Structure 1
Amino acid sequence: MALTQRLDLRQTQSLVMTPQLQQAIKLLQLSNMELSDYVDREIEQNPLLERDEAEFGDGGVQANGDGAGAQGGAGEGPREGGIDQAELAPAVDGADQRQLDTHELTTSDHMAGGSDAPLDTDFENVWTNGSAADGGFDGTEAFGDWSSKGGSGSFEDGEYNLEQTLSGETSLRDHLIGQLNVDIADPVDRLIGLALIDMLDAAGYVTGDLDALAEQLNCELSRIEAVLRRVQRFDPPGVFARSLKECLEIQLRERNRLDPAIQAMLDNLELLAARNVPALLKVCGVDAEDLSDMVAEIRTLDPKPALRFDHQVVQTVTPDILMRLQPGGGWLIELNTETLPRVLINQRYFAQVSGEVRNKAEKEYISERFNSANWLVKSLHQRANTILKVATEIVRQQDLFFVKGVQYLRPLILRDIAEAIGMHESTVSRVTTNKFMATPRGVFELKYFFTSSINGAGGEAAHSAEAVRFRIKALIDGEPPEGILSDDRIVEILKSDGIEIARRTVAKYREAMRIPSSVQRRREKSMRL
């Protein structure tokens, strides 16, 4: 075959990852907080974009309502400026046939113009200034001046802020320093006490080497240990301990309960952790009843005394999708309006600056900003539409879960949802990342509904791994003290229920749920430890 050079024309199709397409894909996997930050950055960079501060209207129009707009068919694209509504029916075998209505949010339905409603005023509790023409003292005049300055009760000028009267939460360091200043008068010992406070971890334990601290402060180790024993009497009890054993000893000593028997138990905490009752009875030299009382006393202690000063506010999850039961049957699904970014394109400003451009560079900049703004609005609309499609199909697939509970959770993979809605698996994976849905059974991440399958025994249908874990936990919670279930026995029970599972799988699920073995459970329940 001869090697020659020639020119050929070929027509091919390929997917080009443009910056706009990359932006649309990126928006899919962002959480609601990340999306809000991203939109804020885009507004800062694009003068044509602005937040819509108008309040949202009502929840929208029901999909099967009379005269509630057009309903898009299966092959129709999204409407301009909004998301199509769809009327769907659950396709779950054995489930009650109920209407599954998809309730989506549109810009025109939920962005209402107008200003906020005026606040009501209780005029009976407003103090007004008296007339200054009387020439005499008027109580209303004095009190009026007091009210006009904010009602602070002070005759000084300046605005009054109610938040200034709120007391702040005391930190562990401030709490301990206050006791240190009262209990220890020697300045050197106070300095050592401050150094020990700085060595505390989040649980209240002393971390670090005391020898290194003595070398750093250029003092004797015995003096540091003496100060340590004094600060170990501070509140909360158990603080400044160097180990769990010492933390429990400090608390028991304060209660005057540190007798030789319980001291022997503290010296053998590994036996208590293993629920080794015979060994504990031997080392403590007590009977079973006394041992049970000692364990109950240990349980009342605080192994991490400093955590009560941890004032971190727990961030609750804000759901992206809301789901509720309709009065006439069926599920109503809608996007959470609180998490939807409200972005508008300022058409008036665009028309104004477009008419005042002076050169080609300015014209290209305005055009590029306008196209970028349009693409962002379109991407946000497409993201909302995709999330709603995926959530609707998940509810359809897992209908029995919402009706009867976790034991009816079906095995589900990304491919099942992708094939049902005509999208790629990677798209479904991005949509279900960091997205949460509020359901009548609680708030769940969309990833929760995707579980692996466990084969059914005797040719029966497969079972969800999450449903099997729930079944294992229910069996263990209901076992009597005289009939502790071993892993092999649990396998036999599950097999009789039509679940084919191996013993090592049961052990893996049990350990993942932090459930001890049958031997440890038998020891614990026999002695009520």
Structure 2
Amino acid sequence: MAALRQNQSVENKHKLSNTLRNWLPILHSSLSDLGEAMSPFIDANPVVEVKSGYEENFEKKIPRKIISGQVSNSRTEQIEALTIQKRSLYDVLDEQLEAPLFPTPISQSIASFVVANLDENGYYEGDSEAFCKIKNIDISEFEKVRLRFSHVEPIGVAAKDLAESFVFQLESSDISEEAYPLCVEVINNMEDIHSYSRKEHFSEVMRVLGTFKNPPAIEYQEDSAQIIPDLMIFFNDDEAIEVKLNDAYYPTILIDTSYAVEHEFISQKIKEAKSLVDALDMRKATLYKVGLMIVEYQYEFFTGGAIMPLTLKTLADEFGHNPSTISRAIANKYIACNRGVFAMKEFFTTAIDEDVSNAAIKEFLVTIVKRENHNKPLSDMKLLDMIQEKFKVTMVRRTIAKYRKQLNIAGSSERKKLYYLH
């Protein structure tokens, strides 16, 4: 009897393992790429047939409360974008996280961490020291692996700032050997770019710099408007907020049980097919729970207020997963509501204090820079004073500089030169 219980336990663990193995790539993919993510699991399975979820009219699947609601965000029009999204930045990078650039388990682990901690522009903003402490590796080893991203497409991603991104891109450019040293010097001293104008090869340097992507993930930002939301959040007829999965867009998995199940091969394929169904259900359950948590923590936003502080760690603790796994899970996932269509990651911010999120700070920073006097751009200290006065918080100047870099906003001197050029 003990042996029977042991066999059942092993079988259950094996089933769970198969489901989890299927679940991760299915969870990480966007809704529009779900069919492609599932294809490796179904191509070699004769008992599975998949019916696409894209055959009906999308607008009919959106609750009328979302379409007819008074919307204060221009991105509402994105609800009706029906074009299937191209491969995401994560998809493109994942394909390259292997030999020869990342041949060892530790190099692949570092590379995966770097990818999981890219901001919307493609810049790396992860806590390298914390990762190295957990993995018991030296920071120099981490950096050695991160710098290999200079050979990864799209070139420039995983750099820490604009200058480093340009250096990454320089290595793959067609610049001549004679102009290369000057280009490196110009990149590292962009604020004084005009001081090099009389140097030999300056025109070639400017031509090459003009071909660089800024920010490095810009082509994926442009595609992100053409999306299909995973969740819809709206107020029902009883004025209660409701979270609804966009499950009508999920592919339907049909299992053909007409085969002779006593055949070992067929029996195994049916088990694999059932694991795939379980994995798809796990994706739905996970994203639905994410939606419920977002409503719980960001209720004020859905009633017209601002996004409140909410970290990935809070969500990770609820799920019992690593924050980097949650970061990948919400990547390329979107929510439609009566204020528009929003990336899930927009609902997760770091708190400046109990009531102010860094998302609000960054939004204000962008606004005041857009309105600044082009002849006298605001210094970081002036920006700091304005932010502290607006939000009644205490910050330091280097935090403003950090936010500028994340938002791809140049320093005041460089902005003045850029305004002059335009």
TM value normalised by structure 1: 0.42
1:343 equivalent in structure 2: 253
After superposition, the C-alpha distances for 1:310-334 in whole angstroms (9 at most, x for unaligned) are: xx99755543514365585566543
1:79 equivalent in structure 2: none
- Identify the match of residue 228 of structure 2 among 315, 319, 335: 319
Which letter does structure 2 place at the counterpart of 1:436? K
Aligned-residue offset at 1:339: 4.9
Which letter does structure 2 place at the counterpart of 1:335? L
Identity %: 23
What SS is found at the alignment partner of 1:463? coil
2:319 equivalent in structure 1: 423
1:411 equivalent in structure 2: 309
- Identify the match of residue 363 of structure 2 among 439, 460, 470: 470
2:15 equivalent in structure 1: 20
What SS is found at the alignment partner of 1:454? coil
Report the CA distance shift for 1:16/1:489 in structure 2 as closer, same or farther (over 3 A).
Answer: farther
2:165 equivalent in structure 1: none
2:331 equivalent in structure 1: 434
Which ranges in structure 2 are unaligned for 5 or more consecutive residues?
1-5, 66-168, 181-185, 199-206, 214-218
2:109 equivalent in structure 1: none
Report the CA distance shift for 1:61/1:416 in structure 2 as closer, same or farther (over 3 A).
Answer: same
Report the CA distance shift for 1:303/1:38 in structure 2 as closer, same or farther (over 3 A).
Answer: closer
Aligned-residue offset at 1:384: 0.9
2:283 equivalent in structure 1: 383
What SS is found at the alignment partner of 1:373? helix
Distance across 2 between alignment mates of 1:40 and 1:320: 21
Which letter does structure 1 place at the counterpart of 2:272? S
Aligned-residue offset at 1:509: 1.2
1:231 equivalent in structure 2: none
TM value normalised by structure 2: 0.51
1:512 equivalent in structure 2: 406
Distance across 1 between alignment mates of 2:175 and 2:316: 52
Which letter does structure 2 place at the counterpart of 1:409? I
Contact 1:275 1:524 in 2 (8 A): no
Contact 2:231 2:336 in 1 (8 A): yes
Aligned residues: 289
Report the CA distance shift for 1:484/1:41 in structure 2 as closer, same or farther (over 3 A).
Answer: closer
Distance across 1 between alignment mates of 2:62 and 2:415: 55
Distance across 1 between alignment mates of 2:343 and 2:255: 32
Report the CA distance shift for 1:485/1:403 in structure 2 as closer, same or farther (over 3 A).
Answer: farther
Which letter does structure 2 place at the counterpart of 1:397? Y
Report the CA distance shift for 1:377/1:396 in structure 2 as closer, same or farther (over 3 A).
Answer: same
Report the CA distance shift for 1:484/1:205 in structure 2 as closer, same or farther (over 3 A).
Answer: closer
- Aligned pairs (5 A) from 1:145-160: none
Structure with bigger RCO (C-alpha 8 Å, 6+ apart): 2
Which letter does structure 1 place at the counterpart of 2:331? N
- Aligned pairs (5 A) from 1:38-117: 38-52=37-51
1:452 equivalent in structure 2: 350
Aligned-residue offset at 1:412: 0.9
Which letter does structure 2 place at the counterpart of 1:319? I
Distance across 2 between alignment mates of 1:48 and 1:426: 35
- Let me know the Cα RMSD of the aligned residues: 5.2
Contact 1:320 1:339 in 2 (8 A): no
Which ranges in structure 1 are unaligned for 5 or more consecutive residues?
1-10, 65-200, 210-241, 245-268, 284-300, 456-460
After superposition, the C-alpha distances for 1:381-426 in whole angstroms (9 at most, x for unaligned) are: 2221221221232134224445557xx222212343356xx53244
Aligned-residue offset at 1:31: 0.5
What SS is found at the alignment partner of 1:501? coil
1:30 equivalent in structure 2: 28
1:371 aligns with 2:274: no
Contact 1:401 1:409 in 2 (8 A): yes
Aligned-residue offset at 1:280: 9.8
Which letter does structure 2 place at the counterpart of 1:22? S
Structure number having the greater helix percentage:
2
Contact 1:321 1:333 in 2 (8 A): no
Report the CA distance shift for 1:369/1:404 in structure 2 as closer, same or farther (over 3 A).
Answer: same
Aligned-residue offset at 1:502: 1.0
Report the CA distance shift for 1:346/1:467 in structure 2 as closer, same or farther (over 3 A).
Answer: same
Larger radius of gyration: 1
Aligned-residue offset at 1:437: 0.5
Distance across 1 between alignment mates of 2:296 and 2:307: 12
Which letter does structure 1 place at the counterpart of 2:326? S
